[in-house]
Amino acid sequence: MIRNLNILLIFTSVFMLAGVYALKFSIENTASERTALIAQIDSQEGELSILKADEAVLNQPGHIEPIIRRHELVLAIAPVKQEQFGAFEDLPMRPVQAKPNSAAMNALFTALESGVDPIDAILELEGIE
């Protein structure tokens, strides 16, 4: 009985030992993949910072202006002049505001104070209730 138990324990130990080795190699492979990915990310971040620096240099007016001057005649472009925007003197004046008709306003207030609503009279003339 003891002999069978010892054999069973030996096989179990060998099986468990193989499992630990497989787990160890799996973890080492995962760690190497992680290290490779981190190196790739660092490399891409470096390339991105270089591209951003290039973009900043290429967008500077000092870099763009000679290119524009070189192709100015071919593209038929010229700098914007102040005259293209117009002047304040060219703007039309505001229309003169008509003064309110004070006689009509007084008649309206008088009618409202006497209890006659002119709006109702207009609605009755139009046939609207």
Structure confidence by residue, pLDDT tens digits, 58-108? 999 999 999 999 999 998 988 888 888 888 888 888 888 888 888 888 988
Compute the distance between CA of residue 81 and CA of residue 87 in angstroms, rounded to an integer: 12
pLDDT at residue 46, rounded to an integer: 97
Compute the distance between CA of residue 13 and CA of residue 18 in angstroms, rounded to an integer: 9
**Which band of pLDDT confidence, cut at 50, 70 and 90, is reported for residue 122?**
confident
CA distances (Å), origin 94, targets 23, 101, 103? 86, 20, 26
pLDDT at residue 57, rounded to an integer: 94
Look up the pTM and report it.
Answer: 0.46
